[in-house]
Amino acid sequence: MPYSIDTIHRIRKGPRNLGNTLGRIAVDLDFSVQRIAKATNATRQTVYNWMSGGEVMGAYRPVVERLINILQQAQTADKAWEAACQEFNLRA
């Protein structure tokens, strides 16, 4: 499901930090918030907060950094999801 124009605008205006970096890459790749939440074991609301510039708390930082790396290397959202499922031992 594509991101809404409002969500994209909020992410693009957000401060540059780890969560916003995740958001920008996810929007560009059309990688869903639901998949980010599943991969990071966070709620969708938490993911939206990160993407809008909220702080990624310490316990989540390593997994968010790994997910960003996966997203940056993937050419499609589906390929990124396959890699994330393998990396984080998730069921597709």
Reading the block at residue 62, the tokens are 């390593």
**CA–centroid distance for 61 within its chain:** 12
pLDDT band at 36 (very low <50, low <70, confident <90, very high): very high
pLDDT higher for 2 or 56? Answer: 56
Give me the number of domains the chain comprises: 1
Helices and strands counted in the chain (H then E):
6, 0
Q: Record the pTM.
A: 0.94
Residue 1 reports pLDDT greater than 70 = no
pLDDT band at 2 (very low <50, low <70, confident <90, very high): confident
Q: What is the pLDDT of residue 70?
A: 98
Place of tokens 């059309």: 30
Q: What is the pLDDT of residue 92?
A: 74
Identify which of 67, 59, 54 has the alpha carbon closest to the alpha carbon of residue 16: 54
Per-residue pLDDT of 37-89, as tens digits, reads: 999 999 999 999 999 999 999 999 999 999 999 999 999 999 999 999 999 99
Range of the domain at 45: 5-88
